[in-house]
Amino acid sequence: MSTRTPAEVFPPGEFIREELEERGWTQSDLARILGRPLPTVNQIITGKKSITPATARELAAAFGTSPEFWLNLEAAYRLSIASDPDDGIRRRARLYDIAPVKDMERRHWIKRTSSAEELAEELKGFFGVESLDQPPHMTLAARMRTARDEKVTAAQAAWCRRAARLASLVQVARFSGAKFERGCAKLHSLVAFPEQVREVPRALAEMGIRFVVVEHLPKTKIDGAVLWIGRNAESPVIALSMRYHRIDWFWHTLAHELSHVRHQDGYILDTDLFGAARGYREAPPEIERRADSEAAEFLIRKPTLDSFVRRVRPYYSKDRIIQFANRIHVHPGIVAGQLQHRGEVGYSANREMLANVRDELTQAALTDGWGRIVSVDV
């Protein structure tokens, strides 16, 4: 039997009838050949029962065709009688492309909705736009630099937007360069003890910097960001994800973002900023290299740490690190972190020194995440 390519879509049963007539077989004959009950064969011919892969193989054996022939006929027929999908499916699919809808609903950033129209309104309200014709993350990407000059993803854009909206609730002094430098000196006085991170939000507010903590969204790898809000984008925001709770991570990341504020680097999104897996370890962009250098210098002056390394290498005992940290008035975990960053010790060394400061910080800072929900109506 030759393979047919029908000009119109007919139920497979029509082709079975043709084969039966051509051979002079009855439906009862076909039932006995297939070893199937007659009612089952009748249901297949009348289209009441679909042709399964097993049935397609049996028909192919009976009529000398390929199983694919019968499966293709069945698929084409079922598609022809299926109703067109609701256009809302296409609209919802596009909305899921431009925003991490599930995660945003889970974090209560937007309400759960039952229609594409309602979801679109929720997203427009969240991103503060009148239209979603231009995906919000593309608009943000046009003005934001990332640590590795990568494209800003939809989830990263949503995180930044949430941080900016929260920051609008924070009351701060008017930002100025003089306040910034005085504030940095005050911040440095807080690095010796984990509980002193509670004073960081207030110190930043006195500098004119809005500070928020927003738990990162899955797969975003966000460490922190610098945003600028206000009518003329004159008010700096530092947002941290605290995806690592260690004291060395917190202080290095904060100091890194402070460098971006000092130089008014604009909108900056920092990902994979700290640790063994950082993506730009060998060739960071210039502004990231500068921010890293200034962050390290902010915590421990380079000549001071160089001197310690020359005297102690390679015997970085716990006691020596603690004595050095006490002498320069920083937490031992910060020393351990810088030694790890320099490659002087492995990332598994001195883990007990890396105190957890997330809980201390989130008790004092405006925080979204880890079960905390903040209502934002701006």
Please report, for the domain that includes residue 72, its CATH number.
1.10.260.40
Distance from C-alpha of 46 to C-alpha of 70, rounded to nearest angstrom: 15
pLDDT confidence of residue 168: 95
**100 and 198 belong to one structural domain:** no
Mean confidence (pLDDT) of the chain: 90
pLDDT at position 148: 65
| Residues with Cβ within 8 Å of residue 371, at least 6 apart in sequence | none
Q: Are 242 and 159 in contact (CB under 8 A)?
A: no
The pLDDT confidence band at residue 377, using thresholds 50, 70 and 90, is low
- Rounded to whole angstroms, the Cα distance separating 180 from 297 reads 16
Q: How far is CA 339 from CA 70, 98, 314, in A?
A: 68, 41, 11
CA distance 31 to 42: 9
Give the separation between CA 228 and CA 239, rounded to whole angstroms: 11
Q: Are residues 160 and 187 in the same domain?
A: yes
Amino acid 339 reads: L
Which of 111-125, 155-169, 335-349 has the least mean pLDDT? 335-349
Question: What pLDDT score was predicted for residue 276?
Answer: 45
Same structural domain for residues 77 and 42? yes
Q: Is 163 found in the same domain as 68?
A: no
- 190 shares its domain with 297: yes
| 202 has a pLDDT exceeding 70 | yes
d(CA 157, CA 128): 13
| 84, two tokens | 């067109």
Average pLDDT of the residues in 76-89: 82
Task: Say what percent of the chain tops pLDDT 70.
Answer: 94
Residue 205 has pLDDT above 90, yes or no: yes
The pLDDT value recorded for residue 90 is: 87
Q: Tell me whether residue 373 is in a domain.
A: no
pTM (two decimals):
0.82
One domain for residues 192 and 302: yes
Query: In the structure, what pLDDT confidence band is assigned to residue 84 with cuts at 50, 70 and 90?
Result: confident
User: Which position has the higher pLDDT, 346 or 226?
Assistant: 226
Asked if the model's pLDDT at residue 296 lies above 70, the reply is yes
Better-scored residue on pLDDT, 357 or 84: 357
Confidence of residue 5 (pLDDT cuts 50, 70, 90): very low
pLDDT reported for residue 341: 86
Q: State whether 162 and 128 are in the same domain.
A: no
What's at 336, amino acid-wise? A
Q: Which domain covers residue 94, as residue numbers?
A: 87-134
Residue 191 belongs to some domain of the structure: yes
* Same domain membership, residue 127 and residue 58: no
Confidence of residue 281 (pLDDT cuts 50, 70, 90): very low
